[in-house]
């Protein structure tokens, strides 16, 4: 991949409200996967830099100004930040498109506007009532009980490269809404939209120093420090199941709260009464959106034997017509994959699928277009004759590769759909709402789309069953993951003086 780092802009760490260079003065270029062009030199934090950011977040939390601000005031500030982000959304979209190979349409029409809607959602939720009522089931009441939601504290937040802006929003907005302080760690491949996000927030001057810190650098260095440092109260992670497992182990040393959004190998089930036009296009969207580089992608497509011979050729025909091109080209359906390493890994999986006996009904290749020679491009692959036990059907490929699995009965489809270590998402396609719903209920996954895929409502929860994760993002569920529960107990009588309290409590319980 050709690149020269000569005149690239330099992007620093953001610690305690200031942009600062890393102690060791170490920088690394970030590249455009469409053409290999260097985009910026990114500060690489080491353990000492990470500790400074953690200390800043700790101090900002402990001084109480942000954590104890009234919910209404915090909500008002977050709405003002949302205004600033909306005003500069094109800058964010440009960073997203260039740094991560996100197509123009996906960046400008989907990820950035959706991210802003989700930020706004948490700006509204920030104005929540911290008091919760306790159901009274014992009469007369023995005590008066106050239940209060409070922020957890310092949150380390680690995000992946596939949806860099949306994932940054999903992390920082509920954490801020709840009154926590943050150290955000973007992925090495895609730091630019998170940096832009923090630049815009910094320019508003609305957040107290130390509330939001940004630490770019290698996950293997920054991550363990965030996960083991006793000053950090919670780790929120989105990324691979492998790293998620490592994070749980590390966070165990100080019993940190952990939320994890991990991998998936989601089933997409076509029922025999599906609207075929809708389901063919929907299945392509489910799999090939962002080249299959989405944790929830519907990469295992279950097609009933009764419509298989009509459905599959139509799917292959349509997939072959998807336009692959530069991310910046508004006509591109698919852009590049994130890196040369990812491209190689996808090609290895295609080879493996053939060795395992699947049929490459549409075989992905590197395009010959001269304009695409310096980027990481591969056209879609569709495997038929896939058995659900094959590695290509069980492992996350994270590329434009679809496995088609033929089934005879609905029960068989559901059993195979659930035969995976993952449980992030699924799709069901049917004209019969009741039937689709009954299938949806039997799938062990956190999000099930009926006659749709990928689209996410900020008010509904997102997260995984099984090895796809712990906890939920979005909605009130997402906010609660950033809140502790405090119970304050006040007795309703005052007969305690001069007694060892068994004498008053036991008769009271017997009443």
* d(C-alpha 469, C-alpha 229), whole Å: 22
* From 96, 225, 246, 261, active-site residue: 261
Question: Are 424 and 296 in contact, with CB atoms under 8 Å apart?
Answer: yes
Nearer to Mg ion, 264 or 399 (CB): 399
* d(C-alpha 280, C-alpha 274), whole Å: 10
Count of all residues that appear for the chain in the document: 511
Which residue's beta carbon is nearest to the bound ligand NAP?
223
Task: Please state the closest distance from residue 445 (CB atom) to ligand NAP, in A.
Answer: 11
Total site size for ligand NAP, rule CB under 6 A: 30
Token readout for 243 is 């790293």
Alpha-helix runs per DSSP H in 12-67: 47-62
Is residue 474 a contact residue for ligand NAP (CB under 6 A)? no
Question: Are 179 and 204 in contact, with CB atoms under 8 Å apart?
Answer: no
Is residue 396 a contact residue for ligand NAP (CB under 6 A)? yes
Give the one entry of ligand NAP, Mg ion, none that residue 99 binds, where binding means its C-beta sits below a cut-off of 5 to 8 angstroms depending on kind.
Mg ion
Tell me which residues in 432-471 interact with ligand NAP (CB under 6 A).
Answer: 464, 469
DSSP bridge partners of 444: none
Other Cβ atoms closer than 10 A to 257: 18
* Contacts (Cβ under 8 Å, ≥6 apart) of 424: 262, 263, 264, 266, 295, 296, 445, 446, 447, 463, 464, 465, 468, 469
Nearer to ligand NAP, 261 or 333 (CB): 261
Pick the stretch among 43-51, 242-250, 363-371, 479-487 that binds ligand NAP (CB under 6 A).
242-250
Closest listed residue to residue 15, CA positions, set 62, 46, 55: 55
At 463, give phi and psi (nearest 5°): 170, 180
Interface ranges with Mg ion (CB under 5 A): 30-31, 99, 189
Measured at the CA of 393, the angle between CA 312 and CA 470, to 5 degrees, comes to 120
Annotated catalytic residue 295 = yes
Task: Please state the closest distance from residue 425 (CB atom) to ligand NAP, in A.
Answer: 9
67, 123, 262, 270: residue in contact with ligand NAP (rule CB under 6 A): 262
Site string for ligand NAP, 199-228 (x = CB under 6 A): -------------------xxx--xx----
What are the E-state strand segments in 3-121? Answer: 10-11, 13-15, 18-20, 27-31, 38-43
Give the one entry of Mg ion, ligand NAP, none that residue 398 binds, where binding means its C-beta sits below a cut-off of 5 to 8 angstroms depending on kind.
ligand NAP
Tell me which residues in 79-98 interact with ligand NAP (CB under 6 A).
Answer: none
Annotated catalytic residue 261 = yes
* From 155, 295, 296, 403, active-site residue: 295
Give the one entry of ligand NAP, Mg ion, none that residue 239 binds, where binding means its C-beta sits below a cut-off of 5 to 8 angstroms depending on kind.
ligand NAP
Tell me which residues in 292-351 interact with ligand NAP (CB under 6 A).
Answer: 295
263, 298, 375, 423: residue in contact with ligand NAP (rule CB under 6 A): 263
Closest listed residue to residue 447, CA positions, set 472, 477, 412: 472
52, 231, 243, 426: residue in contact with ligand NAP (rule CB under 6 A): 243
Q: Which residues are catalytic?
A: 261, 295
> Could you list the residues that contact ligand NAP (CB under 6 A)?
158-163, 185, 187-188, 218-220, 223-224, 238-240, 243, 246-247, 261-264, 295, 396, 398, 424, 464, 469
């Amino acid at each position: 991949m050709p690149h020269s780092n000569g005149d690239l802009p330099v992007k620093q760490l953001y610690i305690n409200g200031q942009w600062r260079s890393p102690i060791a003065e170490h920088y690394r270029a970030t590249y455009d996967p469409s053409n290999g062009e260097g985009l910026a030199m990114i500060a690489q934090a080491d353990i000492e830099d990470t500790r400074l950011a953690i200390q800043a977040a700790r101090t900002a939390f402990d001084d109480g100004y942000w954590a104890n601000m009234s919910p209404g005031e915090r909500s008002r500030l977050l709405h003002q930040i949302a205004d600033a982000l909306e005003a500069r959304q094109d800058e964010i979209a440009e960073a997203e498109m260039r740094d991560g190979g996100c197509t123009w349409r996906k960046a400008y029409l989907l990820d950035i506007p959706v991210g802003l809607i989700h930020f706004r959602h948490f700006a509204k939720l920030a104005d929540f009532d911290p008091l919760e009522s306790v159901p009274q089931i014992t009469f007369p009441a023995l005590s008066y009980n106050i239940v209060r939601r409070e922020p957890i504290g310092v949150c380390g937040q680690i995000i992946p490269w596939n949806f860099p802006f949306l994932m940054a929003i999903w992390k920082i907005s509920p954490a801020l809404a709840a009154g926590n302080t943050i150290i955000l760690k973007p992925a090495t491949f895609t730091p630019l939209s998170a940096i832009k996000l923090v630049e815009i927030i910094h320019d508003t001057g609305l957040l107290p120093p130390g509330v939001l810190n940004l630490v770019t650098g290698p996950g293997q260095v920054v991550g363990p420090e965030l996960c083991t440092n006793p000053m950090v109260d919670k780790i929120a992670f989105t990324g691979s199941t492998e790293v998620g497992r490592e994070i749980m182990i590390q966070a165990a040393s100080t019993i940190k709260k952990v939320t994890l959004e991990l991998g998936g190998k989601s089933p997409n089930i076509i029922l025999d009464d599906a609207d075929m036009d809708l389901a063919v296009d929907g299945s392509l969207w489910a799999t090939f959106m962002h080249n299959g580089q989405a944790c929830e992608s519907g990469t295992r497509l279950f097609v009933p034997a009764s419509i298989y011979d009509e459905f599959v050729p139509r799917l292959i025909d349509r997939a072959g017509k998807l336009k692959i091109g530069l991310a910046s080209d508004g006509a591109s359906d698919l852009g590049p994959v994130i890196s040369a390493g990812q491209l190689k890994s996808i090609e290895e999986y295609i080879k493996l699928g053939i060795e395992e006996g699947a049929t490459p009904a549409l075989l992905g290749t590197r395009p010959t277009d001269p304009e695409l020679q310096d980027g990481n491009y591969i056209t879609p692959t569709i495997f038929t004759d896939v058995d659900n036990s094959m590695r290509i059907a069980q492992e996350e490929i994270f590329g434009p590769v679809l496995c088609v699995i033929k089934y005879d009965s609905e029960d068989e489809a559901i059993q195979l759909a659930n035969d995976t270590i993952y449980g992030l998402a699924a799709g069901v396609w049917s004209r019969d709402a009741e039937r689709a719903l009954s299938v949806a209920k039997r799938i062990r996954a956190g999000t099930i789309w009926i006659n749709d895929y990928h689209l996410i409502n900020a008010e509904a929860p997102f997260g995984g069953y099984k090895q796809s994760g712990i906890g939920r993002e979005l909605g009130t569920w997402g906010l609660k993951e950033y809140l502790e529960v405090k119970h304050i107990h006040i007795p309703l009588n005052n007969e305690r003086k001069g007694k060892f309290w068994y004498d008053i409590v036991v008769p009271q319980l017997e009443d």
